[in-house]
Structure 1
Amino acid sequence: MLFNTTGLLGMLHQLQLTPTAVDVLSVMVKHQEAGGYVGMKQSEIDEILGVGQGSMSRAMALLVERGIVLRSGGGRGHRYALNPAVAGYESQSELEKEMTQQLTVGGPPPIRVPGYAKRPPKPGKGGLHAVA
């Protein structure tokens, strides 16, 4: 069992992820090593999900854009890891050690929650109305 620092599942709706991106994230969470490293290529994740290369690439790009997944390497040699703030750790002390280390370098990379596409409605003139 891995420990993590955040209730990522509780904020998934705010991240506006596609269903495919949620599925990709689920596979990555299941197959992560302690600390969040995911030793799988996109093609290996696609073998599990069967969504196709285009859908897989779009889903992974969205996860990277939101900061949930970190990508390193170039070309076909990308390596993936979960953001340290959502990664799993083998113990509470390992989690605390990693978060302390992250704080010394300015904290883990931010998770980007999209803003409103349009402004929320202005309050109306009237008060609350009961609905029967």
Structure 2
Amino acid sequence: MLMTTTALLGLLHRLQLTPTAIDVLSVMFAHSEAGGDVNMKQSEIDEVLGVGQSSMSRAMALLVDRGLVLRSGNGRGHRYALNPAIAGYASEDQMKQEMSNQLAVGGPPPIVVPEYSRRPPKRPSGGLHAVA
């Protein structure tokens, strides 16, 4: 059983992910190794979900843009890993060691939370009212 940090759960609604991107992230979590390496190709994740290549590419690009998924390599040989800040670990000691390693090199890659495209609604004036 892998341990994960719970900070992602608090941000999930603010990350503005598509349903397909959430599904892709779920498959990646389920198939990740301790530390976040995902030994699946994009086409293999698509086989699990059955969403189609173009939807899969858009979802993966969104996850990479948000910093949740790290991509290495180029062309068709991309390798994927979960951001170390959200990856699962075999033990608390392993998680602490990885976070120490990340802090030694400037910290894990940032998770990008989009700004509001419009302001949140204003709070109504007059305080709270009881409803009978």
Q: TM-score, normalised by structure 2?
A: 0.91
Q: What is the percentage of aligned positions where both structures have the same residue?
A: 74
1:31 paired with 2:31, answer: yes
* Deviation by residue 1:31-87 (Cα, 9 ceiling, x = unmatched): 001110001111000000000000000000000010000001001011000000000
Within-5 A mapping of 1:58-73: 58-73=58-73
Q: Quote how far apart the aligned CAs of 1:122 are.
A: 4.6
> Paired residues, what number?
132
Q: List gaps (5 residues or longer) in structure 1.
A: none
Aligned 8 A contact 1:39 1:79 in 2: yes
Task: Name 2:6's counterpart in structure 1.
Answer: 6
Question: Which letter does structure 2 place at the counterpart of 1:111?
Answer: I
Task: Name 1:22's counterpart in structure 2.
Answer: 22
Distance 2:125 2:63 in 1: 41
SS at match of 1:44: helix
Q: CA RMSD in A?
A: 1.5
Task: Name 1:113's counterpart in structure 2.
Answer: 113
Task: Name 1:83's counterpart in structure 2.
Answer: 83
Runs of 4+ in 1 over 6 A off after TM superposition: none
Q: List gaps (5 residues or longer) in structure 2.
A: none
Distance 2:2 2:84 in 1: 13
Distance change >3 Å, CA 98–CA 126, structure 1 → 2: same
SS at match of 2:3: coil
Question: Which letter does structure 2 place at the counterpart of 1:96?
Answer: K
Q: TM-score, normalised by structure 1?
A: 0.91
Task: Name 1:48's counterpart in structure 2.
Answer: 48
Distance 1:120 1:13 in 2: 14
Deviates further, 9-18 or 25-34: 9-18
Aligned 8 A contact 1:3 1:88 in 2: yes
